[in-house]
Amino acid sequence: MKKGLKAAVFLLVFLLASAAICTGVRADSRYYDITGYTVHVVINPDGSADVEESITYDFTGEFNGVLRDIDYERTDGIANLRVFVEEDGINVREFTVNSTTDYDAAGDPGTYNIYHDDEIAHLKVFEKSRNTRKTFVYKYTLENVVTRFNDIAEFNRRIIDANWDVPLNDIRILIRLPEGASEDEIMVFGHGPLTGESRIIDAQNVEFILDRLHPGYYVETLVLFPTRLVPGSTRVVSEDALQRILENEKKLADEANRERDLARRQVEEYNRRLEEERRRLQQRRTITNAVSIALFLAWIPLIIRLYLKYDREFRSTFNAKYYRELPGEYTPAEMSVLMNMGSVNKRDITATLMDLVRRGYLILKKETYIKEGFFRDKEVEDYSLTLNPEAPTSGLLSHESCLINWFIKKIGDGSRVFLDEISGHVKTEADARRFTKNYQNWCGMVRDEAGKHGFFDESSQKGKSTAIIAGILYVFLGFFLVAAAKGGLGFLIMISGFVMLIFGARLNRRSVYGNEQYAMWKAFRNFLKDFSRLDKAEMPSIVLWEHYLVYAVSLGVAKEVIKQLPLVYTDADLQNARLTYMYGHDLRSLSYFTSALDRTVDSVDHAINRAMAIANSKQSSSSGKGGGFSGGGFGGGSGGGGGRGGGGAF
């Protein structure tokens, strides 16, 4: 199976596996939740109330402490304030006062600042916490908080304040009355979100509960009981208030119940519509899943057929491991297009230059010249490529003429270029863009010349077009099916479409002739790698090895060839006058030629890499940059004191 089909199948499996995984991560790195809020209120005979608040924080990240604002409006003040922290349910510590005048004063852990303003006690509690759960306890007394009318006593308080910046969870308020009343003489009313409940536990205890309270809402408690329970209360109003209070509560309860009825009807209607939508969605999903399965079942034979008809390589009739002659009479760069499925390598430039040296159009030699320096000039030794004036270039192929024009005439002085000039040519972004453009133009010319040999099957372009059109169609159909069914197997069709697009973009194969040539070039490459171990009687002449070596450069085995030459030929063989760059050298060193070859490869490779890196770099920047609650939890209620407080963490 071709690499393109393997990659497409692997991508399909990977995407299918990835689609089954869904993760959710909270983006904040520092946050807290309040998971419990319990308030105990004990009403005293003198009309005061002892309050104990237990607020449980779950900290994620690092915090320095917590904030709490206690509203004591419509009381005679707040007294006996104490602050504690409880960790792990057993370790209880009490805080000490740090400042009573400066709320923002720095404090040590275990202390707190308190500042009074407009009948609100603002507390800043210093307690370092990191990824832990802690319960902060506030104990205080609200002086003279109970109102005593002629016919009833009233404790009316917004116990849970509105100004929190996070939701409050698991709220429980317990209020204990003085002894002396029967259960029938006690009445309780809760104001806030309609999901809350209030109830009378016994003749002394009442309870208010709520699962969750959002910021901006409060919980108000109203407890009515006989005046004889608070004989010492001095907040006295000479009014028979019971009837008025009950009428107001009836009005609030009726309004709340209407809201509940409306909410129930809305929920019922919503559930009905939701069920209808689920039914329709299930029908659509059944249809879209069936369509998706059918499309996928059609996709499988389609991609297999496209592979077999347009992408699978033809079977070669040449099966030998070695081939001792050049399989074709075309340049090493054209051969590289065949071997690399239409691609050109950077080393093909070196191979082309060496081939031009071999054929006498260029002369490779070591020279000494004066190189200008910043402080002084210096004499350097380098290899040069010189244009042979006795060899006209009119008969060269387009990519060969292009290379001479590019290196000799544009980079060099018109007749010669040093290898250092090639590697050091790219200095600015403009140089990089010109060099990259010249390289891309040269690659295009090589592919054009190679295209004249019929290396590739032209019918594969039909398969490529079919695969791309089918891929686009499958992607759009997949999107439509997913949107119509809000999920389902339409994702499979989308993924199949993307896989088909990738397969189509890579679809290509060699022609019968091209595949035969490919097999022979592979065998020739094997010969180049192993020739020193073969029968020396059948070895080609040393002159042919100069020819072979330029193809060895494009095939990536030039160093292996040079390493083996001393094992097969003698120094006398290098005295053949028909040789060019190998003429007159010692086979046991060949240091001159090996060094020249390496320097040429390195120079070209460095120049191209540097050009592409500069051309693709980012632009510089100069910017530098007892029942359900009745309503009122947001703005209404029965007018109880408090509710302006809140809290948070810092």
Q: CA 343 to CA 55: how far, in whole Å?
A: 69
Average pLDDT along the chain: 82
- 641 and 551 together in one domain: no
Taking residue 222's Cβ as centre, other Cβ atoms within 10 Å add up to: 24
Q: Is residue 464 part of a domain?
A: no
Sheet strands (E) in 514-608: none
Q: What is the pLDDT of residues 604-649, one digit of tens each?
A: 666 667 666 665 655 544 333 355 555 554 444 555 555 566 666 6
* Predicted model pTM: 0.53
Q: CA 102 to CA 97: how far, in whole Å?
A: 11
| 208-232 mean pLDDT | 90
Q: What is the pLDDT of residues 409-459, one digit of tens each?
A: 998 889 998 877 877 777 777 777 888 888 899 999 999 999 999 999 888
Q: Is residue 490 part of a domain?
A: no
Strand partners, 314: none
Give the torsion through C-alpha atoms of 524, 526, 531, 534, to 10 deg: -100
Strand partners, 55: 37, 136
- 596 and 641 together in one domain: no
Quote the radius of gyration of the chain (alpha carbons, Å): 45
Across 123-137, 218-232, 374-388, 471-485, least confident range:
374-388
Q: Is residue 301 part of a domain?
A: no
Query: Measured in whole angstroms, how far is the alpha carbon of residue 143 from the centre of its chain?
Result: 57
Full domain range(s) for residue 583: 332-457+509-615
pLDDT band at 22 (very low <50, low <70, confident <90, very high): very low
- 605 and 640 together in one domain: no
- 242 and 377 together in one domain: no
Q: What is the pLDDT of residues 160-205, one digit of tens each?
A: 888 888 889 999 999 999 999 999 999 998 887 777 888 999 999 9
Q: Is residue 18 part of a domain?
A: no
Is the pLDDT confidence value at 25 over 50?
Answer: no
Structure token digits, residue 320: 């030998």
Q: Is residue 463 part of a domain?
A: no
Across 376-390, 401-415, 536-550, least confident range:
536-550
pLDDT of residue 531: 80
Strand partners, 62: 130
Is the pLDDT confidence value at 589 over 60?
Answer: no
Q: Is residue 601 part of a domain?
A: yes
Q: Residue 49: give its domain's CATH number.
A: 2.60.40
Strands 153-160 and 641-642: parallel
Number of independent structural domains in the chain: 2
Is the pLDDT confidence value at 556 over 80?
Answer: yes
Structure token digits, residue 468: 């791309």
Q: Is residue 209 part of a domain?
A: yes
DSSP string, 131-190: S-EEEEEEEEEETT--EE-SS-EEEEEEEE-SEESS-EEEEEEEEEPPSS--GGG-EEEE
pLDDT band at 24 (very low <50, low <70, confident <90, very high): very low
- 241 and 354 together in one domain: no
Q: Is residue 73 part of a domain?
A: yes
- 78 and 175 together in one domain: yes
- 381 and 258 together in one domain: no
| Percentage of the chain lying above the pLDDT 90 cut | 37
- 163 and 63 together in one domain: yes
pLDDT of residue 432: 75
Query: Measured in whole angstroms, how far is the alpha carbon of residue 594 from the centre of its chain?
Result: 48
In contact, 188 and 203? CB cutoff 8 Å: no
- 121 and 217 together in one domain: yes
Q: Which residue has the tokens 């077999």?
A: 308
- 414 and 522 together in one domain: yes
pLDDT band at 377 (very low <50, low <70, confident <90, very high): confident
- 559 and 640 together in one domain: no
- 242 and 366 together in one domain: no
